[in-house]
Amino acid sequence: MTTLDAIARPSGAFAMVAMDQRESLRHMFDTAGRGRPADDVLIDFKVAVAEELAPHASGFLADRQFGFDRVRAAVPESTGLILAVDALDQADGGPVEDTGLDIDALSDLPAQVAALKLLLIWRRDERREERVALAARFIEAARERGVLSVLEPVVRAAPGETDFEPDAAIHEAARELSALRPDLYKAQVPLTGAGAEAEQRAASAALNDCMTGPWVVLSQGVERDRFADAVRAACLEGASGFLAGRALWSDVVGADDVRAELRTRSMDRLASLAEVVDAHARPWQGA
């Protein structure tokens, strides 16, 4: 039976790289002044990130749409491969509005895949129960296939919701969805990483109180230079590490020498974050 050791460090903590961005990655090239690139540019970037960072990560998250076979070949056996099985409803240049299960991705999983990941857009709207049911189906689908489930809820205001408070929604989503018992819960950083250390720790402790089982943080929405402090605060209050992409490589998008930048600035960030989780994260076995 596959356990979280498949995507964890020897310490029982997680230092995982996300490279499953799709149209959002194309938009990142555009905002970096490189225009909207063809698919082969996205694939080459994903392969470069996999080849340079995956050997130093405990897990590596990839998508099926862009160059999966090449990315998979770049991920060593020592790094757990995580496959995104979320079908995204996303306009060009816009945020993901909703998700479903990618049935094709589930139909023929390569043996190398250790875990599946589902992004779930969480709203207080009339489809709330439907999304909870989707999360439950995802967890069961992973279990049936003998692989791990990584659930990633991202909270959004419902249409017309004027009193939306992101951290309260993050807590509510965690109470509702972690109770479904995914193998690992991927949470947004409290306060988007803002505030002093004491505030971050208090917010992380409050989030930990909402969790059932081990959890990690993602980096979207957090200023890159604040992510390490946010990870440390979360780990000190019960988190088991991180699964992050933008905090590691977003400023490498569009660089003239992508691999050189990955080997220096991105690798330095990943190594520093791995030290943080080894020192401060709660091992998944104790969650």
Catalytic residues, which ones? 186
- The long-range contacts involving 69-75, CB below 8 angstroms and separated by at least 24 positions, are 70/43, 70/46, 71/19, 71/46, 71/47, 72/110, 72/112, 74/47, 74/50, 75/50, 75/112
Q: Shortest CA distance to 26 belongs to which of 60, 65, 59, 56?
A: 65
What is the rounded CA–CA span in Å between residue 149 and residue 276? Answer: 24
DSSP reduced 3-state for 247 = helix
Q: What is the dihedral of CA 100, 105, 110, 112, to 10 degrees?
A: -30
Amino acid at the residue 210:
C
Residues 6+ apart with CB under 8 A from 241: 8, 9, 13, 14, 15, 16, 58, 216, 217, 231, 235, 277, 281
Q: How far is CA 60 from CA 128, 161, 170, 268, in A?
A: 30, 36, 24, 17
